[in-house]
């Protein structure tokens, strides 16, 4: 519950963080109907991205297992699988650059958001690297999560 008079929260995430923001909305949007979510160039299909090794392997780094090895974890986290659970009228928006070469804008375009939610395309030259990519570049590969694949990082 939000204290009376407090501003509605704005949850913003970029790339994998956009995935987390959308997942948060599907799990908690009904509890905070005035909250707003802005997903910037989000990973919207964890299963397809993990199987395709897209986004420089960030999904597999984050999830710690392939979809066939941890189907429940993917169903819990995947925005595409949970899109129908967004509460009616919840303010969720996807903003994605048209020339993003890391997270294909096609994932945002075909995200099954209900009609009252919006998508916006913006000109973009490049996608900033996510935490998984930065960790890999720094020699810290091995996943962002600790523990077995059955643990769900966004289960609050």
Strand partners, 11: 37
The class that CATH gives domain 10-137 is alpha beta
Tell me: pLDDT of 121 over 60.
Answer: no
Q: Show me where the domains of the chain are located.
A: 10-137
Q: How far apart are alpha carbons 83 and 5 in whole angstroms?
A: 29
Q: Model confidence over 42-74: pLDDT tens digits?
A: 999 999 989 988 777 888 888 999 999 999 999
Q: 150 or 117: whose pLDDT is higher?
A: 117
Question: Is the Cβ–Cβ distance between 130 and 15 less than 8 Å?
Answer: yes
pTM (2 d.p.):
0.69
* 104-126: average pLDDT: 68
Q: 116-119 long-range contacts, Cβ below 8 Å, gap at least 24?
A: 116/88, 116/89, 117/86, 117/90, 117/91, 117/92, 117/93, 118/93, 118/94, 119/93, 119/94, 119/95
Residue range 3-10: mean pLDDT, rounded:
75
């Amino acid at each position: 519950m939000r204290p009376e008079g407090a501003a509605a929260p704005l949850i913003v995430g970029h790339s994998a963080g956009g995935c987390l923001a959308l997942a948060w909305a599907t799990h908690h949007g009904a509890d905070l109907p005035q909250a707003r979510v802005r997903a910037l160039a989000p990973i919207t299909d964890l299963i397809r991205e993990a199987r395709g090794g897209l986004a420089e392997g960030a999904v597999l780094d984050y999830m710690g297992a392939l979809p066939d090895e941890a189907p429940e974890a993917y169903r819990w986290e995947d925005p595409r699988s949970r899109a129908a659970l967004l509460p009616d009228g919840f303010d969720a928006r996807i903003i994605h650059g048209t020339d993003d070469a890391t997270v294909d804008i096609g994932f945002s375009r075909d995200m099954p958001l209900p009609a009252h939610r919006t998508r916006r395309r913006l000109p973009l030259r490049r996608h900033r690297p996510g935490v998984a990519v930065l960790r890999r570049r720094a020699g810290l590969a091995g996943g962002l999560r600790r523990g077995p694949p059955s643990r769900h990082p966004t289960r609050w």
